[in-house]
């Protein structure tokens, strides 16, 4: 289901140009993952599930420079939007999702029907990790790079492209080990999206009646040029972990959750 290497590059390239921003901005929606309180502040709503991801910034030091750069970019976006349009995520939660698994009502319903689901999921993920390690016995420095800001229907983040074809191939094969695992499929875990490597910076909040499409599109294009010129734009994928979440601001793991080193 995932793209070939050249198809991926071409697809994400179209997502990071001014015309794309201009066409996508009218369709953005307020994220249901946050709620507005009576005092005007917002909080993350309960949104439980599991994902396979790189360790978040709070638990990883290898990408310190990259994440620091993203934090700076996040601050600029907050200032440029000049409203409650962007609900920023805690920088310590920054991460790259490698495979979406199960979330919200699908997770709640599954656990209700199968009280052993959590343990079974952890075991099946561990099997997939072992399968991947059998395919690639030699480590490889998987590297992805900043490519530009992307506007998604309910969120904004930065898109990544692989530094070389091998970095892409290994991530795609890793995803296949997960999504083609009969045990996971039996638990109801299926691939639902093409892989678009991105790190989410924030979700959309209140959408202004008059959204400044031209200004925002130009602003995002200018930021892309500035960030592409920075020295720190490489993101190293050193390991993948099974992580659980209760909302979109914190991703955690128990000591026995599966992990695989690349």
Q: With 90 as the cut, is the pLDDT of residue 200 above it?
A: yes
Mean pLDDT of 32-52: 90
Which pLDDT does position 82 carry in this prediction? 79
Question: Domain limits of the chain?
Answer: 5-261
Give the tens place of pLDDT for each residue, 224-234. 999 999 988 99
In which band, very low, low, confident or very high, does the pLDDT at 42 lie, cut at 50, 70 and 90? confident
Q: Spell out a b/e string for 16-34, using b for 16 or more CB atoms within 10 Å of the CB, else e.
A: bebebbbebbeebebbebb
Dihedral sign, Cα of residue 73, residue 75, residue 77, residue 80: negative
Which pLDDT does position 201 carry in this prediction? 98
* pTM, rounded to two decimals: 0.96
Judge residue 210's burial from the number of C-beta atoms within 10 Å of its C-beta, 0-12 exposed, 13-18 middle, 19 or more buried: exposed
Note the CATH number of domain 5-261: 3.90.1140.10
Give the tens place of pLDDT for each residue, 86-114. 999 999 999 999 999 999 999 999 999 99
Q: Which string of DSSP letters, residue by residue, matches 76-109?
A: HHHHHH-STTEEEPPGGG---EEEEEEEHHHHHH
């Amino acid at each position: 289901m995932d793209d070939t290497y050249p198809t991926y590059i071409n697809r994400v390239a179209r997502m990071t140009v001014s015309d794309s921003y201009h066409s996508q901005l009218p369709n953005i929606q307020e994220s249901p993952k946050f709620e507005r309180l009576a005092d005007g502040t917002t909080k993350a709503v309960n949104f439980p599930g599991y994902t396979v991801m790189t360790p978040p910034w709070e638990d990883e030091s290898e990408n310190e420079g990259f994440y620091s750069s993203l934090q700076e970019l996040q601050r600029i976006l907050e200032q440029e939007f000049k409203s409650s349009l962007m609900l920023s995520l805690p920088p310590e939660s920054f991460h790259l999702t490698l495979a979406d698994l199960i979330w919200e009502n699908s997770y709640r319903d599954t656990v209700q029907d199968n009280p052993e689901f959590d343990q079974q999921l952890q075991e099946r993920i561990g099997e997939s990790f072992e399968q991947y390690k059998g395919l690639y016995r030699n480590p490889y420095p998987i590297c992805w790079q900043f490519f530009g800001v992307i506007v998604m229907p309910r969120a904004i983040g930065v898109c990544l492209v692989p530094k070389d074809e091998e970095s892409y191939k290994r991530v795609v094969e890793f995803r296949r080990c997960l999504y083609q695992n009969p045990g996971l499929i039996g638990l109801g875990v299926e691939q639902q999206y093409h892989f678009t490597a991105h790190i989410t910076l924030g979700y959309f909040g209140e959408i202004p009646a008059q959204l400044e499409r031209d200004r925002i599109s130009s602003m995002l294009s200018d930021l892309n040029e500035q960030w592409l010129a920075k020295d720190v734009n490489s993101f190293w994928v050193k390991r993948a972990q099974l992580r659980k979440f209760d909302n979109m601001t914190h991703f955690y793991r128990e000591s026995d959750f599966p992990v695989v080193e690349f």
